[in-house]
A and B are shown apart, each in its own frame.
Chain A
């Protein structure tokens, strides 16, 4: 990491920001003080609605309508920003402070050339001529490691992939070499592999340009190893602030601790049957000010004192401050275990053993198998058997719009799923996961292959026959907000499937609806509400209820938790597992998040460009992957390693692989080629590479990989199938990067 702080670049003191709307004032930022030194990276963490983004926007003075800074000061390199006129503030934005936004698909103007957007700040602040601006744009594009910068500068955003757009966005933010970069959830919308590349890039540029960085994120994994200090925000305030290593080693505020424990990676530290720790309730609404600690209502160590007295932000160690009367690890364990009930189990005992599942763990998996009590009988007839499934989408071209080619979305995919089990499907965006889900539920018809469900081949049925059987498989969408009709009451939403399939008499609808609401943990009076009245987690509960009301044997869940905060994500995952045990449900669980998949799945399938490249038991695949692609996906997952063992933050750029891949201590699997060097444009699914589709990004590719397509072959562990000519050996897995010649299995 970079050298010691040399005076703060940014100093925020007692910042209060309100958003006034319809006569109510939301205290979005409620007395935040923090500093960031030159070359330092500060992580700002918390659930959504806790004021992270508003703090960042207050620095830029780019608040939403009705937003006002009511008190406090923001000093940037000696200049008080809150006192500046709007005109003077414009000379700061983009010049002294750069900002990167969350969604690269919406933060670039679709109608303006990429180069012009990157150079906009140079034109505005330096009065650069067109030629100088173009040259600067190209220079910035090469700085963010985009290949062929001249061409990209002339192009438009839609011609770039998500990762490249975010690079362009970073280039635009840095064009004037600002002292401070604010990155607001810069990787939340990206795949894990791309996320790693972007975070590496920000880290490199920080060192190269010596700028300060504020990394706003809800993902603790992103913070680990990439920031020097962390500020945890709750209810518009900072509740804990310290060196990243100190917070990871020993979180002191119960909220911080709860955030850690809600991570699926933490699953090994407790019994699987108890589920993940989830923070009950929701963040405070920030309109009404109640006395006492704002976290008190959700805190498992809460005492009477907390409800009436407000804790100040101070600490026992210099540099580690927290706003709590009964910090974690000092008092309250005894009482907490008594009070916390089932949820309190992780409190004291678990805390010191909060070591990532990725490092040690089989705990949850072993216990999980007992808990779900599904005998893995190899002779049992699977509930679902997919074989040789193919789906191509035609590409129209030419003047007459004739079919000129095809995008191979799903190519020869086969797998099985036993009743009561979960099949986890992982892969980057564009790998065909969602198409596979749509094929299974009958929203698309396969071009070839069989989907044998409960003894009948769905692929061979007519649409009418399928409709009669579809209730056996239900789909749960990613975006619960978009998939719930905003003009229907919950009662109608939930009884619609009953009406379509006519499985229940009309008089029985209401009873069914109330029963299912109870099962997914929603109050009975929810039946009269509209979907907009619910929070993200509650809407996902509704989505689950809608899928469940037909009593399906299989639920296909397409990224069901990827839009949720960790604590809410934990609630939904727990609920899904509870219902699975209760009804012997099967899930096909799709996610780009390996830790979620690992927590949920019995069997994992890894997809790449429409192909299933590896499948097998979840635990074994995560500890000893056979396919290089699986290994690189695992390596890209940000590590959350907590506990007293970790005293130093992980150096930026080092991957988890060393600990993950059998713990050889090697700085394991390197990035996908193109991750650190000039990025290779992802292969085009309309023209997949010959032979092995992964070979163009594979570090071990040889001539044979281009000539012969590898078939799925049994690998080290029973049930593990790998489609690779040179699969990673179980013993050698840890030395992936070190080995000189691929081992031939």
Chain B
């Protein structure tokens, strides 16, 4: 287990380094002396590698640069927006899991029943609908027509501030969660169908276990193994969805910020935020590997 995790962590570090290289390389390729703008005028005559190392050194010491447009350090912008995005993606992913796992399991157990068909239709609908359409529809009905919820995301600062405003938080979270639920539930359904087909499920029934026991102690855990991997791998996708949702609901998180920076050619901010998202993706897949190892002993324990 330790060796396995150590190996995965090393791989994650390598991935992050590769991300920095690619991100910096892209900036360097962009026209208009962007690199010089980030690194200062003294770097203009330097080789790519020297520039990269200078930048990497700064990043590692916590200096992500400064936005000339907003006259604020990238670090400060990140400190303001990261928690907000964490709340949005965290809450919606949690809700998605809590809904999708039972829904997928139910669909698998009641395969081809009316419940299965209805739920399949709904998940297809959410899966196929772009977040901005889904969000707009939700705003139209729940905010504009019925005034249940706010049309704009919470504007208060910090994690506490965002969570203290459930009325405004509901629609952004719901928009993001519905799409995620659709992805997870469809995956959970097929994964649970696979597990239900396995002979060890028959064997558990043959030992006299009731259907509930068989599903909870044998089917659920085995079906979660591939789902956990999917969650880790879909983290970047969720962050991407968050970008759209944040813009739609004027919720000033990382997605909103990076969009603003990209539109206004605010290179230091784009660079810094892209880097953080890259790290988040690497951490996500590391977490997925850990969850995978917890669920599946074949990964945890090698053959003696």
| Chain A residues in the interface with B (C-beta under 8 A) | 60, 62, 87, 90-95, 97-99, 101-103, 106-112, 117, 120-121, 124-125, 155-156, 158-159, 169, 172-173, 175-176, 397-401
A173 and B200 alpha carbons, distance in the complex (Å): 12
Q: Which B-chain residue is minimally distant from A92 (CB atoms)? A: B208
Which A residues lie within 8 Å of B210 (CB)?
87, 90, 124
Q: Are B208 and A90 in contact (CB under 8 A)?
A: yes
With a cutoff of 8 Å between Cβ atoms, the chain B residues found around residue A62 in the complex are: 202, 205-206
A120 touches B207 (CB 8 A): yes
Among candidates A97, A158, A176, A399, residue contacting B297 with C-beta atoms closer than 8 Å: A158
Enumerate chain B residues within 8 angstroms of A102, measured Cβ to Cβ: 199
Residues of A within 8 A of B3 (CB): 397-399
Q: How far is the CB of B111 from chain A (nearest CB, A)?
A: 8
CB-contact partner of B199 in A97, A103, A155, under 8 A: A103
Q: Does B58 touch A at the CB level, under 8 Å?
A: no
Q: A106 contacts B198, CB within 8 Å? A: yes
Given A111-B221, A156-B297, A399-B7, CB of A106 within 8 Å of CB of B206: no
Chain A residues whose CB sits within 8 angstroms of the CB of B222 once the complex forms: 109-111
Which residue of chain B has its CB nearest to the CB of A60? B206
B203 touches A121 (CB 8 A): no
- Taking A94-B208, A107-B199 as known contacts, 18 extra A-B pairs with beta carbons closer than 8 A to each other, sorted by chain A number, are A62-B202, A62-B205, A90-B210, A107-B200, A109-B203, A110-B296, A110-B297, A110-B298, A121-B209, A124-B207, A124-B208, A125-B208, A158-B297, A158-B301, A159-B301, A173-B206, A399-B3, A399-B10
Q: Which residue of chain A is the closest to B8 with respect to CB atoms? A: A399
The closest CB in chain B to the CB of A175 belongs to B207
Cβ contact within 8 Å between A106 and B199: yes
Closest to A398 in B: B3
Given the complex, which residues of A lie within 8 Å of B119, measured CB to CB? Answer: none
Whether B200 and A93, one on each chain, are in contact in the complex, defined by CB atoms closer than 8 angstroms, is: no
Number of contact residues on B: which range applies? 20 to 34
Contacting residue for A400 out of B7, B207, B218, CB 8 A? B7
A159 contacts which chain B residues (CB < 8 A)?
Answer: 301, 303-304
Partner of A94, one of B7, B198, B207, B225: B207
- Check B208 against A121 for contact (C-beta < 8 Å): yes
Given the known inter-chain contacts A60-B206, A93-B205, A124-B208, please indicate yes or no for A111 contacting B7, CB distance below 8 A. no
Can you give 12 contacting A-B residue pairs, CB < 8 Å?
A62-B205, A95-B208, A99-B206, A101-B206, A109-B222, A110-B297, A110-B298, A112-B217, A158-B298, A175-B207, A399-B10, A400-B10
The answer on a CB contact under 8 Å between B225 and A111 is yes
Min distance, Cβ A119 to any Cβ of chain B, angstroms: 10
Q: Which residue of B lies closest to A125 (CB)?
A: B208
B49, CB-defined interface residue at 8 Å = no
A87, A108, A120, A173: the one contacting B209 at CB < 8 Å is A120
Residues of B with C-beta under 8 A to A109:
200, 203-204, 218, 222
| B200 contacts A108, C-beta separation under 8 Å | yes
Shortest CB distance A553–B (Å): 40
Contact among B208, B218, B303 for A91, CB-based, below 8 A: B208
> Are B206 and A93 in contact (CB-based, < 8 A)?
yes
Smallest beta-carbon distance B212→chain A, Å: 11
How far is the CB of A357 from the nearest CB of chain B, in Å?
Answer: 35
* Given A91-B208, A110-B298, A101 and B202 contact (CB-CB distance below 8 Å): yes
0 or 1 for each of B1-45: is its CB under 8 Å from A? (1 = yes): 001001100100000000000000000000000000000000000
**With a CB–CB cut-off of 8 A, which chain B residues contact A90?**
208-210
* Complex-state Cα separation, A173 to B207, whole angstroms: 7
B50 to chain A, nearest CB (A): 29
Question: Is B80 interfacial (CB 8 A cutoff)?
Answer: no
Interface check B77, CB cutoff 8 A = no
Most buried by B among A91, A117, A155, A398: A117
Report chain B residues within 8 Å CB of A121.
Answer: 207-209
Residues in A whose Cβ lies below 8 Å from that of B283 = none
Q: Is B147 at the interface (CB under 8 A from chain A)? A: no
Pick from A87, A108, A175: contact of B203, CB below 8 A: A108
Shortest CB-to-CB span from A704 to chain B, Å, is 30
Question: What residue in chain A is nearest B209 (Cβ atoms)?
Answer: A124
CB distance from B76 to the nearest CB of A (A): 37
Q: In the docked arrangement, what's the CA distance between A172 and B203, Å?
A: 9
In the complex formed, the residue of A with least CB distance to B300 is: A156
Contact indicator B203/A169 (Cβ below 8 Å): yes
- A-side contacts of B198, CB under 8 Å: 106
Instruction: List which B247-304 residues lie within 8 A (CB) of chain A.
Output: 295-298, 301, 303-304
Asked if A107 contacts B203 (CB within 8 A), the reply is: yes
With both chains docked as a complex, state the minimum distance between the C-beta of A189 and any C-beta of chain B, in angstroms.
Answer: 11
B216-232 vs A, Cβ < 8 Å mask (1 yes, 0 no): 01100110010000000
Query: Quick check: is B213 within 8 A (CB to CB) of the other chain?
Result: yes
In the complex, what residues of B have CB within 8 A of residue A103's CB?
A: 199
CA distance A401 to B208 in the complex (A): 44
- Could you say which residues of chain B place their CB within 8 Å of the CB of A158? 297-298, 301, 303
How many Å lie between the Cα of A172 and that of B205 in the bound state?
12
Q: Report the Cα distance A669→B205, complex, angstroms.
A: 41
Interface centre among B199, B205, B206, B304, by most chain A C-beta atoms within 10 angstroms, is B206
Most chain A Cβ neighbours within 10 Å, of B200, B222, B225, B297: B200
Within 8 A of A (CB), among B161-216: 198-200, 202-210, 213
Q: Would you call B213 and A124 a contact (CB within 8 A)?
A: yes
Q: Is B297 in contact with A98, judged by CB distance below 8 angstroms?
A: no
Residues in B with CB closer than 8 Å to A107 are 199-200, 202-203
Asked if residues B6 and A399 are in contact (CB atoms below 8 Å), the reply is yes
Q: Residue on A with the closest CB to B222?
A: A111
- Check if B206 sits within 8 Å of A94, measured CB to CB: yes
Which residues of B sit under 8 angstroms from A99, Cβ to Cβ? 203, 206
Q: How far is the CA of A468 from the CA of B58 in the complex (A)?
A: 57
Q: Which residue of B lies closest to A104 (CB)?
A: B199
Q: Give CA–CA (A111, B219) in the complex, Å.
A: 10
Query: CB < 8 Å: which of A111, A172, A398 contacts B207?
Result: A172
CB contacts (< 8 Å) of A95 on chain B: these are 208
Report chain A residues within 8 Å CB of B301: 155-156, 158-159
Residue of B nearest to A120 (CB): B207
Contacts of B297 in A (CB 8 A): 110-111, 156, 158
Bound complex: CA of A159 vs CA of B303, how far in Å?
5
Taken together as a complex, chains A and B put the C-alpha atoms of A590 and B77 apart, in Å, by 68
For B200, what are the chain A residues with a Cβ–Cβ distance below 8 Å? 106-110
Please, which residues of chain B bring their CB within 8 A of the CB of A93?
A: 205-208
Q: How far is the CA of A452 from the CA of B99 in the complex (A)?
A: 63
| Smallest CB gap from A110: residue in B | B298
Q: Which residues of chain B have C-beta atoms less than 8 A from A156's C-beta? A: 297-298, 301
A101 engages B207 (CB within 8 Å): no
A499, chain B: closest CB distance, angstroms: 35
User: A97 vs B7: C-alpha distance in the bound complex, in angstroms?
Assistant: 47
